[in-house]
Amino acid sequence: MTTQTAHADDHHHEAPKGLARWLFTTNHKEIGSLYLIFSLAMFLVGGAMAMIIRAELFSPGLQLVNPEFFNQMTTMHALVMIFGAVMPAFVGLANWMVPMMIGAPDMALPRMNNWSFWILPFAFLMLLSTLFMPSGAPASGWTLYPPLSLQGGNSFAFVIFAIHLMGISSIMGAINIIATILNMRAPGMTLLRMPLFVWTWLITAFLLIAVMPVLAGAVTMLLTDRFFDTSFFNAAGGGDPVMYQHIFWFFGHPEVYIMILPAFGIISEIIPTFSRKPLFGYTAMVYATASIAFLSFIVWAHHMFTVGMPLGASLFFMYATMIIAVPTGIKVFNWVSTMWRGSMTFETPMLFAIAFVILFTIGGLSGVMLAIVPADFQYHDTYFVVAHFHYVLVTGAVFAIMAAAYYWLPKWTGHMYDERLGKIHFWWSTISVNVLFFPQHYLGLAGMPRRIPDYAVQFAEFNMISSIGGFAFGLAQLLFVYIVIKCVRGGEKATAQVWEGARGLEWTVPSPAPLHTFDTPPLVDDSLEHKDRLPS
C-alpha cells in the first residue's frame, strides 16, 4: 500500500505493524475491512446456529438438541445475524465507500471510528459467552419479551450489556457517517449529486440515532425489572408487559429498514453500472427512501396485532403499513426501468442484484399479506412470518451485501475475483435459498408455529426439503469465503474503473485503492455526476 501525499497532519506514515496496526488504525479503509471481516465471521457463527436449527427440524421429534438449547439457538441466531452480520457489514461498506464516493480523505472522526469498531468484538464475546454460562444463553427470542425473558438466569445481564455495547457502537458509527456526509463532501458534490448508496446511508444513520437509544432504554428497563425490583413490565407491581412490545417495536420497525435501506443503495449503484444506463428516477429514489424512513416510525404495532387493540388502531397500523408498498414499489419499478433497454451484462454482482429485485419483492408482498389484520391473526408467529422476514433479510439484505462484495472487491484488493466461481456461488445460493425458505410459506399457512424444536408429522416433508435447502445454502457460503480469500491473494489485475459501465469518484482512484485517497479534494462537476452513467 502506498501513501499518496505527505502533508496531512493525521496520517501515521510510520504506522505500527502487525496486530497493533489493526488495533490502532484510524484509516477508514482499514476500519472498513475490519468491519467486513468481523461481519463475515459473525455470518458464519450465526449460520452455524441456523444449521443446528435446521438439523433439529429435519424430521419431527426431538433428535439432536434439547428444547432449551434449541430456543437459545433461535434467539442467538437472530441476535448474531442482525447485530453481528448484517449491520456491521453495512457499516463496513459505508466506511470503505462513503468517503471515496463523496471525495473525502477519511471519515470525519477517525479515532471514534476505531472505537466504534473495536467495541463490537467485545460485545459479541460477551453475548456468545452466555452460551457457556450455567443459566445459558437467552432463549426468549431476540425480541426479549417479558415476562418470559425475565425468567432466565443471571446471564441475562451479559446479554443486556452486550446489546448496550452494540447500540453505542452503532450510534457512534451513525454520527460519524452523518458528520462525514454533511461536512466533508468534495466541492461540487451537492446533496442531489451524491450516489444513492451515500443517500440511503445518510437516512439510515438518522434512523440509527433515533431508535438505538430507545432499544437501550427498553433493555435497561428489562435489566432493572430483573435485578433491581422495578416494575416497568411487571403486572404485579403495576407495570404492563404489553408496553415492552410497544417500546421494542418502536425501535424494531425502523431497525428492519436500517437493515434494508443501505441494500437499496447498493442495488441502485450496481444496476446502472451493468445496464450501462443512468439510474432511472434518481430524485424519486431519494424521496422514496426518505418516505420509507418516515413511515417506519408509525407502523410498529403491526408486529403485535394479536395483543388486541381497538378497531381504529388496527386500521391505522394496517393502512400505514400498506402505504409503505408505494415508495418501495417506486424503487422496484425504477430498478426495472433502469434495466429496460440497457446494454446489460450479467457479471456476479449484477446477478445478485437482479435476484435481489425479484426475491426481495416476494418478501415485500408476503409483508403486505401480513399487514392485513384478520389474516395476521392466522399468520402471526407461524413459519409464514419466518419465510417473510428471511426473504427480505437473506435474499434482500444479505444478497445485496454479497452483490456489494463482488462489485467492490476488485477496488479493495486490486484483483478480479474468479468470475466462474462467483457465478457458481450465485446459482448455488439462489436455488438453495429458495428451497430453504419457500416451503416455509406453506408450513406457516398450514399452521406450523415458529420457535419450536418439534412439530406435527404433517409438516415433515416440507421441513425436510427446507433443511436440505438450508444445508446447501450454508455450504455455498463456504465457497464465498474461498472466493474472497482467493481474490485477496491474487488474480487478474483490476483497472481503476473495473467495470465498463461504472461511474463515480470511487472508480477514479487506482485499484487497489491506496490507503489515502482524495487528500486533495477532487472537483466534482457534471462529467462525474453519478446520474450521467451513459454508455462509454
Partner 1 sequence: MSNDAPQSTTRTVAKLALLAVGMFGFGYALVPLYDKFCEVTGLGGRTGDAVAEIVDAPDSDRTVQVHFDSNVNSALDWEFKPVEKFMDVQPGRMYETTYIAHNRTNQTIVAAAVPSVAPGQASLYFNKTECFCFEKQLLGPGESREMPVRFFVDDHLPGKIDLITLSYIIYKNEDETERVAAVGP
Annotated active-site residue 106? The verdict is yes
Pair 467, 57: CB distance under 8 Å: yes
Q: Are 388 and 321 in contact (CB under 8 A)?
A: no
Phi–psi pair at 39, nearest 5 degrees: -65, -40
**N residues, the chain:** 536
**C-alpha cell read off for 273:** 453500472
Q: Which stretch binds partner 1 (CB under 8 A): 25-33, 46-54, 230-238, 336-344?
A: 230-238
Integer Cα distance of 87 and 255 in angstroms: 10
CA atoms within a 13 Å half-sphere pointing along the CA-CB vector of 172: 19
Identify the burial level of 297 via C-beta atoms within 10 angstroms of its C-beta, where 0-12 means exposed, 13-18 middle and 19 or more buried: middle
Q: Is 310 in the site for partner 1 (CB under 8 A)?
A: yes
The piece of 193-201, 234-242, 284-292, 443-451 that touches partner 1 (CB under 8 A) is 234-242
Residue list 244-263, contact with partner 1 (CB under 8 A): 246-247, 250
User: Which is the catalytic residue, given 145, 249, 257, 499?
Assistant: 257
Q: How far, in Å, CA of 102 to CA of 40, rounded? A: 26
Active site residue 407: no
Using CB under 8 A as the binding rule, whether residue 243 contacts partner 1 is answered as: yes
Residue of 15, 37, 55, 175 that binds partner 1 (CB under 8 A): 175
- 382: which strand partners? 449
Is 516 considered catalytic here?
no
* Binds partner 1 (CB under 8 A): choice among 64, 133, 191, 235: 235
Spot the catalytic one: 28, 54, 226, 253: 253
- The nearer residue to partner 1, 236 or 485, going by C-beta atoms, is 236
Binding range to partner 1, per CB under 8 A, among 173-181, 189-197, 279-287, 357-365: 173-181
Name the grid cell of 435.
428451497
Q: Which of 23, 62, 64, 182 binds partner 1 (CB under 8 A)?
A: 182
CA 268 to chain centroid, in Å, comes to 16
Decide if 190 is catalytic.
no
Number of residues binding to partner 1, judged by CB under 8 A: 36
Widest CA span in the chain: 71
Is 500 a known active-site residue? no
Task: Establish if 238 lies at the interface with partner 1 (CB under 8 A).
Answer: yes
Catalytic residue among 193, 303, 390, 411: 303
Residue 408: active-site member: no
Catalytic residue among 26, 289, 321, 328: 328
232 binds partner 1 (CB under 8 A): yes
Q: Quick one: which of 163, 165, 166, 174 contacts partner 1 (CB under 8 A)?
A: 174
Helix (H) / strand (E) element for 204: namely helix 196-227
Q: Which of 77, 226, 425, 503 is catalytic?
A: 77
DSSP 15: P
User: Active site includes 170?
Assistant: yes
Dihedral angle computed from the Cα positions of residues 175, 176, 182 and 183, in that order, rounded to the nearest 10 degrees: 130
Phi-psi region of 381 (alpha: psi -120 to 50; beta: other; left: phi over 0): left
What cell does 171 get?
Answer: 450510534
User: Rg of the Cα trace of the chain?
Assistant: 23
User: Least distance from C-beta 133 to partner 1, angstroms?
Assistant: 25
Enumerate residues 6+ apart whose C-beta is below 8 A from 216: 163, 164, 167
Residue 6 near partner 1 by CB under 8 A = no
Burial category of 246 from C-beta neighbours within 10 Å (exposed 0-12, middle 13-18, buried 19 and up): middle
Minimum gap (Å) between residue 506 Cβ and partner 1: 19
Q: In the complex, what is the shortest distance from the CB of residue 138 to partner 1, in angstroms, rounded to a whole number?
A: 20
Q: Amino acid identity, residue 444?
A: G
Residue 105 binds partner 1 (CB under 8 A): yes
Residue 7 touching partner 1 (CB under 8 A):
no
Of 56, 225, 255, 506, the catalytic one is 255
Residue position matching grid coordinates 437473506: 394
Distance in angstroms (rounded) separating the CA atoms of residues 268 and 212: 26
Q: How far is the CB of 309 from partner 1 (least distance, A)?
A: 7
Q: Which of 170, 296, 361, 511 is catalytic?
A: 170
Q: Which DSSP symbol is given to 68? A: H
- Applying CB under 8 A, among 65, 209, 290, 336 the residue interacting with partner 1 is 209
Residue of 45, 109, 325, 488 interacting with partner 1 (CB under 8 A): 109
Q: Is 169 annotated as catalytic?
A: yes
End-to-end CA distance of the chain, in Å? 30
Cβ atoms 251, 218 nearer than 8 A? yes
Nine cell digits for residue 452: 419450536
Q: Which of 110, 141, 188, 213 binds partner 1 (CB under 8 A)?
A: 213
**Annotation says 303 is catalytic:** yes
> Which CB atom, from 108 or from 267, has the smaller least distance to partner 1?
108
Instruction: Identify whether 59 is a catalytic site residue.
Output: no
Examine residue 218 and tell whether it contacts partner 1 (CB under 8 A). Answer: yes
How many CB atoms within 10 Å of residue 278? 17
Identified catalytic residue from 169, 200, 296, 366: 169
Q: Which is nearer to partner 1, 147 or 281 (CB)?
A: 147
140 assigned to active site = no
In three-state secondary structure terms, 386 is helix
Of 56, 106, 225, 347, the catalytic one is 106
Whether 28 is catalytic is no
**Cα(393)–Cα(408) distance, integer angstroms:** 21
Pattern 273-302, partner 1, x by CB under 8 A: ------------------------------
- Is 212 among the residues that bind partner 1 (CB under 8 A)? yes
Binding site for partner 1 (CB under 8 A): 105, 108-109, 171, 174-175, 178-179, 182-184, 209-218, 221, 229, 232, 235-236, 238, 240, 242-243, 246-247, 250, 309-310, 521
Name the residues annotated as catalytic: 77, 106, 142, 169-170, 253, 255, 257, 268, 302-303, 328, 331, 450
